Structure formats: structure tokens, C-alpha cells
């Protein structure tokens, strides 16, 4: 078992599981995984998987159709040992899934899958760290308010406009970084001619 704990990966594509699994393992975690189709049709026993491996974080892909995929995810969480886990959600359209996930404090981060997969690994590390911090705190029978992310990025309690503003900022920052990266490549390309 990796020193940082176990991460459970659920994705619609076998290739997606393999690629992300290698990155997560290289970050120091152990990985267990299943295709979402196998979960849906009962070939994967979620109860046994969660009980046996006790993952620190569950990475779950919400794929189109988003409402149907989100509904399956919610049913799994209510009816299985997934309910008490920390989640990092991946989606091709993160802003669409943000609308569905905005009020759920156990959703640690929603990461756009077209973004650098390093962002997914970073979110996993932060979610695992938050779980450890929470586990080390003394337990009480009084329900404590859900914690926010330590660096202020947790969306709990934000208005819809604030969520969309954060998403726009994130998207603009990624786009700016991509443009700057392509400019640097063009500046260093000897075949690229500069207009006078």
C-alpha cells in the first residue's frame, strides 16, 4: 500500500483509469479502480471494494448525460459505503457539473478532464490531507459545520454567481497560461518567422 493511502478511481474509459492511475501511483498513493459501466450493471461490488480498501479519496467521473450520471453517483453514495468518503469529481464540462455539485460539502473539487491531469492529482492530495486532518480531530456527538478548504477554494455557502465567477477566473487563467505557452513555443521555433 502507498504511504499516502488508497485512492479509488471510477471512470467510463479503461484508458482514463490506466493513465490517471499511473499518475496517482507516482504521487505515492495505492490505486483501486472500476469502470462506471461495471458499477452500473453490478459487476463491481462497491460495498466490498470500499470496505476492503477504505480509500482516502474517491475520484469519480461524471460523463454525459450529466443528470443521469450525477443521479447514479448520488444513488451509490446513499446506498453504499461511499457515503462517508471525500470525492474529487472529474468531468469534461466542469461548469455543468459544478451546478449539480455546488451544495455538496463532500465534493472536494470538480476538475475539468481536458485540463492538465496534474490538477486532478493535486486535488486528490488536498482531499486526502483534509481527510487526515478531520480524522485527527476529536469526535463529538454535536454536528460541526462542514469545513471549508484550507485555502479558501471550497464552494460551500457560495452563491451561484460566486461559483460561476470562480469558474470564469479559473478558465481565464488556464487559457492565458495556454496562450503564453504556445507563444513561448513559437518564439523558440526556428521555422517560425516573425512578421516585421
Looking at the fold, whether 163 and 119 belong to one and the same domain comes out as no
Domain boundaries, position 49:
6-137
pLDDT digits (tens, 9 = 90+) for 154-174: 444 444 555 556 667 777 877
44, 37 contact by CB (below 8 A): no
Residue 26 domain flag: yes
pLDDT digits (tens, 9 = 90+) for 142-157: 333 333 333 344 444 4
42, 94 contact by CB (below 8 A): no
Tell me how far CA of residue 21 lies from CA of 17, 40, 71, 81, 130, in angstroms. 6, 21, 25, 22, 21
Residue 196 domain flag: no
Question: Which of 137, 167, 182 is where one domain is finished?
Answer: 137
Looking at the fold, whether 70 and 25 belong to one and the same domain comes out as yes
Decide: helix, strand or coil at residue 3: coil
Q: Whole-model pTM above 0.75?
A: no
Looking at the fold, whether 170 and 87 belong to one and the same domain comes out as no
Residue 43 domain flag: yes
DSSP letter, residue 84: G
Is the model's pLDDT at 108 over the cut of 50?
A: yes
Looking at the fold, whether 79 and 24 belong to one and the same domain comes out as yes
33, 16 contact by CB (below 8 A): no
Residues with Cβ within 8 Å of 103's Cβ and at least 6 positions away in sequence, in order, are 156
Q: Which of 32, 31, 29, 33 is nearest to 5 (CA)?
A: 29
The C-alpha atoms of residue 120 and residue 89 are separated, in whole angstroms, by 9
Structural domains of the chain, count: 2
What CATH number is given to the structural domain containing 14?
A: 3.40.50.2300
Amino acid at each position: 500500500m502507498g504511504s499516502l493511502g488508497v485512492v479509488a478511481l471510477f471512470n467510463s474509459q479503461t484508458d482514463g483509469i490506466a493513465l490517471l492511475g499511473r499518475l496517482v501511483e507516482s504521487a505515492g498513493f495505492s490505486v483501486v479502480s472500476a469502470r462506471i459501466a461495471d458499477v452500473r450493471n453490478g459487476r463491481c461490488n462497491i460495498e466490498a471494494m470500499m470496505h476492503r480498501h477504505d480509500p482516502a479519496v474517491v475520484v469519480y467521473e461524471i460523463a454525459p448525460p450529466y443528470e443521469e450520471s450525477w443521479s447514479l453517483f448520488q444513488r451509490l453514495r446513499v446506498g453504499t459505503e461511499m457515503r462517508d468518503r471525500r470525492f474529487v469529481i472529474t468531468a469534461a464540462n466542469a461548469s455543468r457539473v459544478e451546478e449539480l455539485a455546488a451544495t455538496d460539502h463532500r465534493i472536494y473539487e470538480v476538475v475539468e478532464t481536458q485540463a492538465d491531469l496534474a490538477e486532478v492529482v493535486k486535488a486528490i492530495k488536498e482531499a486526502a490531507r483534509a481527510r487526515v486532518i478531520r480524522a485527527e480531530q476529536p469526535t463529538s456527538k454535536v454536528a460541526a459545520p462542514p469545513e471549508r478548504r484550507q485555502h479558501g477554494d471550497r464552494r460551500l455557502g457560495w452563491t451561484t454567481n460566486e461559483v460561476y465567477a470562480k469558474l470564469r477566473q479559473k478558465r481565464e487563467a488556464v487559457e492565458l497560461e495556454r496562450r503564453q505557452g504556445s507563444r513561448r513555443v513559437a518564439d523558440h521555433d526556428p521555422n517560425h518567422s516573425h512578421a516585421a
